[in-house]
Amino acid sequence: MPWDLDNDRPIYLQLMERIQQDIVSGVYKAGDKLPSVRELAIDAAVNPNTMQKALSELERDGLVHSRRTSGRFITEDETMLKNLRDELASRHIQDFMEKMKQLGFQEKETLEKLQDTIKRGTLI
């Protein structure tokens, strides 16, 4: 999947978000080894220093950890991973609700739209 980076926000934050999404969606599982900084930077088409910054921040947050001479690995802390998944879901829901509000929908109407969409099975 393309990295789809934009110029409106710092690139390293977008890289962090993408890696977090890849973790909670199962691209990378608890305990998995991440590709090298260089490999990830090439894949994302960014400077390796920018990717290094993103990974360092994820490491500071405890989501990834380094093993000397072995690379970086995803945490095996299932509670942390569940909390991250819940946090990302909450952010997406909040963004969605804000967009629906901008379109003029009340919360009740938004809920009805969601229920209709689910009933029709038209979710992507």
Assign residue 42 the CATH number of its domain.
1.10.10.10
The model's pLDDT over 15-72, given as tens digits with 9 standing for 90+, comes to 999 999 999 999 999 999 999 999 999 999 999 999 999 999 999 999 999 988 899 9
Domain match, 36 and 91 both: no
- Answer whether residue 107 shows pLDDT above 80: yes
- Does residue 1 sit within a domain? no
Inter-residue long-range contacts of 10-14, CB under 8 Å, 24+ positions, other chains counted = 11/46, 11/50, 12/50, 12/51, 12/53, 12/54, 12/57, 13/54
Q: Residue 15 sits in which domain range?
A: 11-76
Taking the model in full, what pTM does it have? 0.80
With respect to residue 2, please indicate whether it lies within any of the assigned structural domains. Answer: no
Checking if the pLDDT of 1 tops 60, the result is: no
State the burial class of residue 77 (Cβ atoms within 10 Å of its Cβ: 0-12, 13-18, 19+).
middle
pLDDT at 3: 83
Q: Does 93 share its domain with 66? A: no
pLDDT band at 123 (very low <50, low <70, confident <90, very high): low
> What is the identity of the amino acid at 61?
D
Specify whether 83 is located in the same domain as 49: no
**Domain count across the chain:** 2
Instruction: Give dist(CA 120, CA 124) in Å, integer.
Output: 11
State whether 64 and 15 are in the same domain.
Answer: yes
